[in-house]
Amino acid sequence: MGVTIHDVAARAGVSVATASRALSGQRGVRAANRDKVLAAARELDYEPNVVAASLRSRTTHTIGMVVPRISNPFFATLVESIEKQLHDGQRSLLLANSHYEPEVEQRQVRALLDRRVDALIMIPCHRERSGEALTTAAARIPVIQLDLRVDGFAGSWVGVDNEAGVWQVVRHLTERGARRLVFVGAQPTDSAAQARLDGFRRAVGDGDDVLLGDFSKEWGQQAARRLLERDSLPDGIVCGNDTIALGVLGELANSGVRVPEDVLVAGFDDIPYAELAQPALTTVRQPQEQIAAEAVRGLDARLSGDETTPRSIAITPDLIIRSST
């Protein structure tokens, strides 16, 4: 058998209860006894029984997170920001991928609940069909929606003001002299796609020149080919995210179209590749560290009971101007 807490207590010359409190960081242990317990644990190479401790405390010190697609650079870096916030609090992240499929999302949520996560951070993949998974989780543990949200779900959410971001892009392009703008975005099955589309339509006012597909580089390439088939190019292309914009830039370059001389191109998110694009991509930066910090703070408030009313926090993003405009 391995080393037990009884062995640690005997080596330190204290009771098992004192050893347990010292190892768990609880108060009420004299400094001298705490030092003896920690020294004994190191000498004996003691590994605490995490499962047993979780059963006693009814907490696993783990947070579940479900994302639509981890291969999306924006989601990947957002996960890293959340993980950093949790590690600072000595907690672990259990990550699951929904692949933009509500049925898969529902199974992943149930799997995380079966693993007794303390709370759930969810980027719902669908504005409507993700509601069942969210409701299932919220009935058992604190839940917060991150970046995307479900229509009509009265739960907490943290993300950016997508419409404000698109307004910034449109204003910048018009100040650069663009009069004919096209929006290349995704079908509005998730809340960000809908908000960015709405933001463009409201900002442009008298125009409705939109091409909708999905948030992928391949769709950006296809959309650019459609624009190239027209009699003339627009003055500016507003892309629903940076991945679409990268596809647009690549296809325009392959066709000999100069950016920004012939057409202005802007994205949304400021993924790591945006600055490396040729030319470097003007985009809307989502402050991921701030988003992650607000999300974890909200969960902590729910877990501690300090906050019971759902809150929605919309952070205004920043326009990052680069060579593509």
pLDDT digits (tens, 9 = 90+) for 86-136: 876 678 899 999 999 999 999 999 999 999 999 999 999 999 999 999 999
Mean pLDDT of 37-43: 90
Distance CA 281, CA 249 (A): 9
Contact 77, 288 (CB under 8 A): yes
Whether the per-residue pLDDT at 263 is higher than 80: the answer is: yes
Q: What is the pLDDT of residue 306?
A: 79
pLDDT tens figures, 248-258: 999 999 999 99
- The answer to whether residue 66 scores a pLDDT higher than 60 is yes
pLDDT digits (tens, 9 = 90+) for 212-226: 999 999 999 999 999
Q: How far apart are CA 17 and CA 170, in angstroms?
A: 64
Q: 220-249 pLDDT, tens per residue?
A: 999 999 999 999 999 999 999 999 999 999
Whether the per-residue pLDDT at 24 is higher than 50: the answer is yes
